[in-house]
Structure 1
């Protein structure tokens, strides 16, 4: 059986068994899983291989592209500015970024950006991934275009534009890029190995993604002017690019964070621990409460699923039945990476991996681990393993 490393409280024996089985049968190739409970690490597991071609092992310090799970770290940056009264969720984006108010976007509020209801879920002009590496120019292009629907009228998942929108707000307010701000205010002080804009010294620790099977979606048969197609195909991003130096160095706050379950859980435990980590206050309880202000609750125009968005995070919704109800916020990344903050229990659960599932939300790999973890909390673990 594939070796699994790390620590696991005996209450989560079923979770460890699941982790071992999935690595042994190939459901996972390389992965890490972490549970932090009231500030204490109760599960920190890793194993498998980081690169299937070479057999390079997944070690304690392996990191991997987390795709849209990165958005939860961008959310921390926005929440920090809200906490310091430097950013008002109910103010127009144009108050901080005047150019953004053009083309009918004067009514777009900061909370519309954080809740995916801005109407700016992608780029009107054709763009390449390399274009998006120049984050300031790509943000300026977003500022020039009209919204694709009435801002605030339901969500349209900002698959790639989300990071550019938040990043430009951070830049305008602080003078720092999003990656630099996250490193200075969160990753550095927390000792978390998570990067938006990964230094070259980290590149050799990055795992290689195993692409998902075909999704079955034939984009050529869908209306070219639909919000879904315009958002998800301009540009299309292949998992094969995620170890390229240019991709790693870029600061794509929507998609190219590099980390492992431990670093993700450590950062996000700030939320589940009511703003605290290791005795340091990062966010006030009042700011944490703002996460649960519902911004959209219905079928998302891009994801096609019923998603409930709060401020910077999704909330429990039909799209993710494995996310428990309650005072819970979460998000996932393409392929199945996931983080859940359960404030009722004081728990953060994070899973990241290199073998990808095709499903965008509620991927089976993430759901399996969430089911096992919360079964352990609920005393139904035998049913989950």
Structure 2
């Protein structure tokens, strides 16, 4: 595979790992970008822009991935969306310890009157499922989803436990932001984050950008463990739990039934903060770099491009939820809206925070290493907790930094 792009001196291990992903780990098309202290030190891409059988039928499989190729990043979107309520709190517009029903009165129904904003961010709300799943059209219409989660009875007492809100996170987050700001969450991200920072990152893809988006498909994961040292062994795996139609795992992911086609323009246009974001690897890495420090070339006057004030950064990565996850089965760790470093989702180090996406993509920041990381892929691997391609890249970053004495 002819890997394109550049790496700064000392980051050659990342290029080697990226090339090996194509050779040994089933990669089709992908990009990885790394910022350190606000400067780009890794910028790599390779493979084909379209990876599935439909592309083969139309003769599009030979179109190469370029620096500007964007991709649906699935649950990586949750980490981008989480910045919105944290920034609203930073600006004094939202109380993280306030009740959701204060901003969204209809949400108080069926035992949810004491749900706090921080419960939404920590996956502690107790509504990861819908008793009546939404159709794809309903999921995308911006009305049915918020109405359904407002009416849903919690499956555990809110605030007492945690479980990944795989799909319902979309409507919980989007409606809260709309009630507080009067704007959709996609518009807020565009106006307050993407445009000021110059990010090719969208929640609600503009029609004129559709040609940049790679077509995704499922590909087989390589044999063997996702990452060395992953010793967490639950009674059953998330894959086994997903096969049980009565499990919270299956019901959480099936809150939209059938699952929508993520290559459908209607899906790309919709604003689903749980799963529907579209971004380049550079945009993800730059976003996370901006959360923890200034970006010299940012088009914003706010702290030289830095998004999170020190106190907000502490909130984002202070453990809010930890232990066996009622939905994902394995033990997970969450701050306010962000997954934290741990066996189920290994990041760079103990202080890292970010979010993976089912199937491979990953974005995170590490304030101690002063790193912003972004990886996107169109070959979506299933049946893994920590994707082997992303983990190979993270290990390579760790190796490079260790060699530099960082």
What's the counterpart of residue 18 of structure 2?
19
Q: Distance in 2 between matches of 1:276 and 1:283?
A: 16
Partner of residue 318, structure 2 = 293
Q: 1:346 to 1:246 in 2, by over 3 A?
A: same
Pick one of 118, 134, 150 that aligns with 1:127.
134
User: 1:373 aligned to 2:373?
Assistant: no
Range with bigger deviation, 181-190 or 3-12: 3-12
Report the Cα offset of residue 218 of structure 1.
6.1
Classify the secondary structure of the residue corresponding to 2:368.
coil
More moved, 228-237 vs 180-189:
228-237
Shift of 1:139: 0.7
Query: What's the counterpart of residue 9 of structure 1?
Result: 8
Gaps of 5+ in 2: 222-236, 299-303
Aligned Cα RMSD in Å?
Answer: 2.2
Shift of 1:276: 9.1
**Following TM superposition, by how much is the alpha carbon of 1:36 offset from its aligned partner in structure 2, in angstroms?**
0.5
Secondary structure of 1:356's aligned partner: strand
On the 8 A contact 1:6/1:44 being kept in 2, the answer is: yes
Q: Deviations over 1:181-227 (max 9, x none)?
A: 00000001111001111011111111011213499946796252x32
- 2:98 matched to 1:98? no
- Cα distance change of structure 1 residues 219 and 327 upon mapping to structure 2, 3 Å threshold: closer
Task: Show CA shifts across 1:340-385 (max 9, x none).
Answer: 211111111111101112135311111111111111111299xxxx
Residue 266 of structure 2: aligned partner: 246
Aligned to 1:51: 50
Provide the C-alpha distance between the structure 2 equivalents of 1:26 and 1:294, rounded to a whole number of angstroms. Answer: 32
In structure 2, the partner of 1:178 is: 185
Retained in 2: the 8 A contact 1:276–1:283? no
Determine the structure 1 residue equivalent to 2:94. Answer: 87
Is the contact between residue 269 and residue 341 of structure 1 (CA under 8 Å) also seen in structure 2? yes
Does the 8 Å CA contact 1:210/1:356 hold for their aligned counterparts? yes
TM-score (ref. length: structure 1): 0.92
Q: Aligned-pair distance for 1:234?
A: 2.6
Partners of 1:220 and 1:262 in 2: CA distance: 33
Shift of residue 129 of structure 1?
A: 1.9
User: TM (normalized to structure 2)?
Assistant: 0.88
Q: Structure 1 198/363 Cα, relative in aligned 2: closer, same or farther at 3 Å?
A: same
The DSSP-based 3-state class of the residue aligned with 2:130 is coil
Are the equivalent residues in 2 in contact too, given 1:68–1:254 (CA < 8 A)?
A: yes
1:193 counterpart = 2:214: no
Give the 5 Å matches for 1:195-344.
195-213=202-220, 217=239, 222=244, 224=246, 226-235=247-256, 241-273=261-293, 278=298, 279-320=304-345, 322-344=346-368
Is the Cα–Cα contact under 8 Å of residues 336 and 356 in structure 1 kept in the other structure? yes
Q: Is the 8 A contact 1:272 1:346 kept in 2?
A: yes
Kindly indicate whether the alpha-carbon contact (under 8 Å) linking 1:90 and 1:111 is maintained by their aligned counterparts in 2: yes
Deviations 1:215-258 (Å, cap 9, x if unpaired)? 9946796252x32221122325658x222111111000100101
Pair 1:47–1:92, CA change in 2 (3 A): same
CA drift of 1:62 comes to: 0.6
Aligned length: 377
Report the secondary structure of 1:243's partner residue. Answer: coil
Deviations 1:89-133 (A, max 9, x none): 111101111110111001111000001111011322121222110
CA distance in 1, matches of 2:249, 2:316: 26
